[in-house]
């Protein structure tokens, strides 16, 4: 049974465009986890044109992170509504965020890191389109919509993310290097980090799947042993 564990809390890490959303979607479908995407939560605020949405726009469009207090408060609210099996995508991204998460839920069961060369990432992002309202993501080459430039589910137009312009992508990659990459060591020391290297999501995915199956089975047998 692939979803044997009754609780499972995981994080997916990786540079912008590394395929977090792509892999996470498959993980969540296969193992029945809730997919919580910090970027989608922020973009929803932007789309609804809330005060918070207006406040975060300058950060996002310049490739900077939004302030810790702001994202922590949004995510804390979100975490109160989730069930026992989830995957965080895009959070935490700084030490204060990781510490806050640890304080609220303890150490997660596993952290997946996608390690993809930056030149591959830059190419992928050039042909990414999204359905802004839902966060559904396409790629003109890798994962094209059924009807050109239309969302598969709603038929609404799909668009480029404003922060996918090349200059902003460079800034996002720099931000990632400086602020988020150091978290790898934190999770490595906690013994929960698993790294995947490669250039294609379809090649990486079966390894991620195999790894998580083993993790969930051992999480379950540990619980049985403790009883």
The catalytic residue positions are 20, 93, 128, 161, 172
160/125 Cα distance (integer angstroms)? 9
Which of 68/220 has CB closer to ligand G5P?
A: 68
Which of 90/145 has CB closer to Mg ion?
A: 90
Which of 32/162 has CB closer to ligand G5P?
A: 162
Smallest gap from Cβ 39 to ligand G5P, in A, equals 2
Residue 224 DSSP one-character state: H
* Residues that bind ligand G5P in the complex, under the rule CB under 6 A: 14, 16-22, 38-39, 42, 59-60, 65-66, 71, 90-91, 93, 97, 124-125, 128, 137, 139, 141-143, 163, 172, 200-202
Q: Please report whether residue 19 would count as binding Mg ion according to CB under 5 A.
A: no
Q: DSSP per residue over 96-129, as a string?
A: HHHHHHHHHH-S-SEEEEEE--HHHHHHHHHTEE
Cβ proximity of 194 and 111 under 8 Å: yes
Cβ proximity of 165 and 138 under 8 Å: no
48/44 Cα distance (integer angstroms)? 6
Rule CB under 5 A: which of 21-50 touch Mg ion?
21
Q: Which residues bind Mg ion (CB under 5 A)?
A: 21
């Amino acid at each position: 049974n692939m979803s044997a564990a009754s609780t499972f809390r995981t994080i997916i890490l990786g540079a912008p465009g590394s395929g977090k959303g792509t892999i996470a979607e498959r993980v969540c479908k296969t193992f029945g986890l809730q997919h919580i995407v910090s970027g989608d939560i922020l973009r929803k605020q932007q789309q609804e044109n809330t005060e918070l949405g207006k406040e975060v726009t300058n950060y996002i469009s310049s490739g900077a992170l939004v302030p810790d207090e702001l994202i922590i408060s949004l995510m804390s609210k979100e975490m109160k509504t989730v069930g026992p099996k989830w995957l965080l995508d895009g959070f935490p991204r700084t030490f204060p965020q990781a510490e806050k998460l640890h304080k609220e839920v303890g150490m997660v069961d596993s952290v997946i890191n996608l390690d993809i060369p930056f030149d591959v990432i830059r190419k992928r992002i050039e042909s990414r389109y999204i359905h802004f309202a839902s966060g559904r993501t396409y790629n003109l080459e890798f994962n094209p919509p059924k009807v050109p430039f239309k969302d598969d589910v709603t038929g609404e137009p799909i668009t480029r993310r404003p922060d996918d312009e090349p200059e902003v992508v460079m800034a996002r990659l720099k931000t990632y290097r400086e602020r988020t990459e150091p978290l790898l060591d934190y999770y490595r020391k906690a013994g929960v980090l698993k790294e995947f290297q490669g250039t294609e999501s379809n090649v990486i995915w079966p390894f991620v799947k195999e790894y998580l199956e083993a993790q969930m089975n051992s999480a379950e047998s540990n619980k049985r042993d403790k009883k």
